[in-house]
Amino acid sequence: MTEINETYKEKISFNKRLIFLYVTFGILGVVFYYQIFNLQISNYSEYEIAAENNKNEEISVQPLRGIIFDRNGEILVNNIPTFDLITKPFFIDDPDDFLLKLSSFLEIDEEDKKVFLSQFKKAKTLNKELTLKQSISDEDKAKFLVRSHMFENAYVGERYLRNYLYPEIFSHSIGYVGRPNDDELDEIYEKRSLNKKINFTYTNQLIIGKTGLEFTYEDILTGEFGNNLREVDARGRTLDEKISSEPKVGNNLYTSLDLKSHQAAHKAFNNRKGAVVAIDIKDGSIVTLFSSPTFPTNQLANGILQKDFDELLLSEEKPFFNRALKGRYPPASSIKPAIAMYGIEEGLIDWDFSIFDEGFFTLPEDGRIYRDWKEGGHGDTNLFKAITQSSNTYFFDLAYRSDINQLNKHLSSLGFGGKACIDCFEEDKVFVPEPSWKMNKHNFGWFKGDTVNMGVGQGYLVSTPIQLAKYAYIMANKGKFSDLSLKKDLVKSEKSIEFNKFSNDDWFKLHESMVNVIEGNTGTARRLRERKNYIVAAKTGTAELVSGDNREQYSETRLDDSLRDHALIIAFGPMPNPRYAVSVVVENGESGGSVAGPVAISVLNSLIQE
């Protein structure tokens, strides 16, 4: 009886507890059902919109970049159409199988396959397109098109390539485009408020100017991204793609660069190292900005093999180095007209003042000898002769009597140690050496001898080819100048150098002496006379890389190519009303007159005899 009673009690307890649990779950069930009701009925419209927004996506559409022209309207850079094989990973179940199927009739690089497979999963999840093969041939295109019914998950799409028409000539001045790195990418997405998905117009997808004008005028060239609204169905197929706003093609860039002069420079340099810069005196625009050797911009913009890239990067010729803007060269004798201007302005010399040049200058303080390039010297030498025959002794003497701070100020006013160009890519403004600079850098005070060396453009004084060109331009234009620039018709204010003593007559005589460098029978560049049929003013220079104390040492250093002197020339013409100023540096070219001179003349010829 007690047992039955206990069994009964136990059963009651069990039932109660089971009911307790079921009721607990019942209450929970009501809460859950309420939540489902909330989602599906009360907030239905909100979630419906959210789902719609998920499947309707805004897509940015990439614009074409603007075209780049030379100053005569010749196209230098444009966009050319090409065909890419583009896949839709969302519809590909097995990527390996897909590649196998394609490979049966198309040749696909292992590298392309690797890239495809590595990005496949992400693209599939995001329902994004993925380019498998760029710039396919007409034959491959035809092969694919006849089989396209088998490939709902791929198509051949028209894309563009950035095309450099003169890839080996404007490498440094125009530069090239390339894919942005991660940081740049974030910046672009934010700046242009791009959507996650982009319809690419270029084979290389997002491209930005990496160097040169492509970089400087990125904003002008890029244009504006458009917007499409794409609706997809539950199977991921595009139902409709509406254009909300068309992409706006980037503005064309009209440059002041001159195609013919670049071709002439390229030919004249013949891959030797160096640079040439030519300036239109009318407005200070740069017509030639050429650094040699160059590199192939099309490959850099549209795909270069790592091996080839490394070869360029590690080359001893340093083709990527823009010598025109960044090469640091002693101006050597080409500085002499500047020193002469200083001497006249400060009243240290005039055109009648002369010295007897015995082939060297002795520093009175310590008896140190500063040699002229000509053994035995030039004899009686006035300023005119000192410029045409490039007497060092005359300028050693003049520099010795100069005040270094005043001289610095003068050189700076001529553009040394300052940025010459307002829209050049990564220009090196170098510096004009000052006593304080020497103290900081070398922990030595300024010697009188340092000033003497500067008188012939040696020692601590360095300059870039573009600075030399600007200096030539200022002299050609008698002290008036504008900032240099590459974009055509840029509005710039004209500046001028203030002189007290240096007069118009002095300008005339200075030009005359520089004309005689070529036209005079004793001029250092007289051999250039026959290469042209107009008059050119010039000053040559030979920058010593190693200064030998005697001639034997000097001859030894000449044996090593890389230690040979740099050849320089600055020139302007045609005289008496010059239109162009030019500077040329040929690295290890030795003699300014005979090596740099011909380059300058062929560039001037191309500009003047058109």
Partner 1 sequence: MRYLDFKKFSIYYDPYLIISITLLSILGLFFLYSASDGNAAVLIKQSIFVFFGLILMIVLSQPDPQIYYSYSGFFLLISIILVFVAIFFGPEINGANRWISFGFVTLQPSELCKIFLPIFIASYLYGVKLPINLKNTFLTIFLILVVFLIVSSQPDLGTAIVILLSGLYVLFLAGLSWTFIGSALAIFVISLPFLWNNFLEPFQRQRIATLFNPDLDPFGSAWNITQSKIAIGSGGIFGKGFGEGTQSHLNFLPETETDFIFAVIAEEFGLIGLTILIGLYFFIFIRCFYLSINARDRFCRLVIGGLSLVFISTLFINIGMVIGLLPVVGMPLPLISQGGSSLISFYIAFGIIISMASHKKLVPR
Q: Which is nearer to partner 1, 125 or 555 (CB)?
A: 125
Q: Which residues contact 167 (CB under 8 A, 6 or more apart)?
A: 296, 297, 298, 299
Closest distance between partner 1 and the C-beta of residue 192, in Å? 22
Q: Which is nearer to partner 1, 32 or 534 (CB)?
A: 32
Report the residue from 50, 117, 142, 369 that binds partner 1 according to the rule CB under 8 A.
Answer: 50
Copy the structure tokens of residue 310: 């490394």
H/E element, 68 = strand 68-69
Q: Which is nearer to partner 1, 236 or 576 (CB)?
A: 236
25: contact with partner 1 by CB under 8 A:
yes
Distance of CA 416 to the CA centre of its chain: 21
236: contact with partner 1 by CB under 8 A:
yes
Q: Please give the Cα distance from 603 to 584 (Å, whole number).
A: 10
Q: Which is nearer to partner 1, 234 or 314 (CB)?
A: 234
Closest distance between partner 1 and the C-beta of residue 233, in Å? 7
Q: Please give the Cα distance from 412 to 461 (Å, whole number).
A: 12
Nearest to 270 by CA among 539, 602, 606, 610: 602
13: contact with partner 1 by CB under 8 A:
yes
Q: Which residues contact 21 (CB under 8 A, 6 or more apart)?
A: none
What's the number of CA atoms in the CB half-sphere (13 Å) around residue 243? 8
- 193 part of the active site: no
Nearest to 585 by CA among 329, 267, 388: 329
H/E element, 117 = helix 110-125
Closest distance between partner 1 and the C-beta of residue 195, in Å? 16
Report the residue from 4, 234, 314, 491 that binds partner 1 according to the rule CB under 8 A.
Answer: 234
Amino acid found at 431: F
18: contact with partner 1 by CB under 8 A:
yes
Nearest to 195 by CA among 234, 223, 226: 226
Q: Which is nearer to partner 1, 31 or 439 (CB)?
A: 31
Q: Which residues contact 507 (CB under 8 A, 6 or more apart)?
A: 478, 479
Q: Which residues contact 337 (CB under 8 A, 6 or more apart)?
A: 387, 475, 510, 513, 514, 539
Q: Which is nearer to partner 1, 17 or 551 (CB)?
A: 17
Q: Please give the Cα distance from 425 to 218 (Å, whole number).
A: 12
Q: Which is nearer to partner 1, 55 or 480 (CB)?
A: 55
Q: Which stretch, 8-16, 243-251, 330-338, 460-468, contacts partner 1 (CB under 8 A)?
A: 8-16
CA dihedral angle for residue 210, residue 216, residue 219, residue 221, rounded to 10 degrees: -80
Q: Site size for partner 1, by CB under 8 A? A: 40
Q: Which is nearer to partner 1, 10 or 219 (CB)?
A: 10
Closest distance between partner 1 and the C-beta of residue 115, in Å? 22
Binding mask 471-500 for partner 1 (x = CB under 8 A): ------------------------------
314: contact with partner 1 by CB under 8 A:
no
Burial of 316 from C-beta contacts in 10 A (0-12 / 13-18 / 19+) = exposed
Q: Please give the Cα distance from 442 to 105 (Å, whole number).
A: 68
Copy the structure tokens of residue 244: 């909300």
Q: Please give the Cα distance from 436 to 426 (Å, whole number).
A: 26
Q: Which is nearer to partner 1, 23 or 305 (CB)?
A: 23
Residues forming beta bridges with residue 241, ordered by sequence position = 230
Closest distance between partner 1 and the C-beta of residue 3, in Å? 11
Q: Which stretch, 26-34, 184-192, 335-343, 556-564, contacts partner 1 (CB under 8 A)?
A: 26-34
Closest distance between partner 1 and the C-beta of residue 123, in Å? 11
Measured in degrees and rounded to the nearest 5, phi and psi for residue 260 equal -60, -40
Amino acid found at 465: P
Binding mask 121-160 for partner 1 (x = CB under 8 A): ---xx-x---------------------------------
- Judge contact between 43 and 29, C-beta under 8 A: no
Q: Which is nearer to partner 1, 43 or 609 (CB)?
A: 43
Closest distance between partner 1 and the C-beta of residue 231, in Å? 10
Q: Which is nearer to partner 1, 95 or 592 (CB)?
A: 95
Among residues 333, 391, 583, 606, which one is catalytic?
Answer: 333
Q: Which residues contact 495 (CB under 8 A, 6 or more apart)?
A: 480, 481, 482, 483
Closest distance between partner 1 and the C-beta of residue 232, in Å? 7
Closest distance between partner 1 and the C-beta of residue 190, in Å? 17
- Judge contact between 414 and 340, C-beta under 8 A: no
DSSP 57: E
Q: Please give the Cα distance from 208 to 181 (Å, whole number).
A: 10
Q: Which residues between 29 and 48 bind partner 1 (CB under 8 A)?
A: 29, 31-33, 35-37, 39-41, 43-44, 46-48
Closest distance between partner 1 and the C-beta of residue 263, in Å? 54
Report the residue from 27, 51, 80, 100 that binds partner 1 according to the rule CB under 8 A.
Answer: 51
Q: Please give the Cα distance from 527 to 504 (Å, whole number).
A: 29
Closest distance between partner 1 and the C-beta of residue 242, in Å? 18
54: contact with partner 1 by CB under 8 A:
yes
Distance of CA 42 to the CA centre of its chain: 60
- Judge contact between 483 and 492, C-beta under 8 A: yes
Binding mask 89-108 for partner 1 (x = CB under 8 A): -x------------------
Show which residues are catalytic: 333
| Residues near partner 1, by CB under 8 A | 10-11, 13-15, 17-18, 21-22, 25, 28-29, 31-33, 35-37, 39-41, 43-44, 46-48, 50-52, 54-55, 90, 124-125, 127, 232-236
